[in-house]
Amino acid sequence: MCLAIPAQILALDEGTDQAVVSLGGVKKPISLALVEDAAVGDYVLVHVGYALNKVSPEEAARTLALIQAAGALDAAAVDGDVPTGEASR
C-alpha cells in the first residue's frame, strides 16, 4: 500500500529546497519543494523523494510505531528510529 514514512530532517539547503532526512535509520536526500517552513529537527512525511507535509513528533511516533508493527507482520527487518515522545497506541 502507499505508505508514506515519517522522517526527521537532519540537514537542509534552503537555496535548493533539498534536505537530508533520517528514514528508518538511513540517511536519504529528499526535496522540500512541496512543504513550507520546514526546519532541521522537524518530522515530515516522505513519499518517493518528496516531503509531503510536516507532522508533529507525536504523530510521527504513532505512525512509525504502527508501520513497525505492520512491518513485523511481513517479517521485514525493521530497525527504524522511533522519535522521542510518547508512542500512544
Partner 1 sequence: MSDLAGQLDIQLRPDARTVARITSSRPLSAAGVFVGKPVARVAGQLPLLFSVCGTAQAVACAQACEAALGLAPAPSAQAARILLLRAETAKEHLWRLLLDWPAALARLDVIPEAVQLAAQSAEREAAMAAAMRAFLQLRAALGTGGDPFLPGADRIRPAADAVESARAILAETATEQVLGVPAARWLAAVLTPTDLRHWAAQTATPAAALVRALTAAGLADVGRCAIDRLSPGVEGSGLLRQLAPILAAADADDFVAAPHLQGVPRETSPFAREVVRGELVSALAAAHGNGLLPRLAALLTELARQTVQLGLDAEDTDEEVADAAMMAAAAPDAGVGLGAAAAARGLLVHRVAIAGSNRTGGAQVRGYRILAPTEWNFHPAGVVADGLADVAMAWAERRVTPTPAQLEALARLYVTAVDPCVDYRLSIS
What residues make contact with partner 1 under the rule CB under 8 A? 1-5, 17, 23-26, 31, 33-36, 45, 47-48, 50, 52-53, 59, 62-63, 66-71, 73-74, 76-80
In contact, 22 and 81? CB cutoff 8 Å: yes
Q: Closest separation between CB of residue 22 and partner 1, Å?
A: 12
Please, what is the minimum distance in Å from the beta carbon of residue 39 to partner 1?
16
Q: Is 1 helix (H, G, I), strand (E, B) or coil?
A: coil
Output the smallest distance, CB 13 to partner 1, in A.
15
Supply 21's cell numbers: 532526512
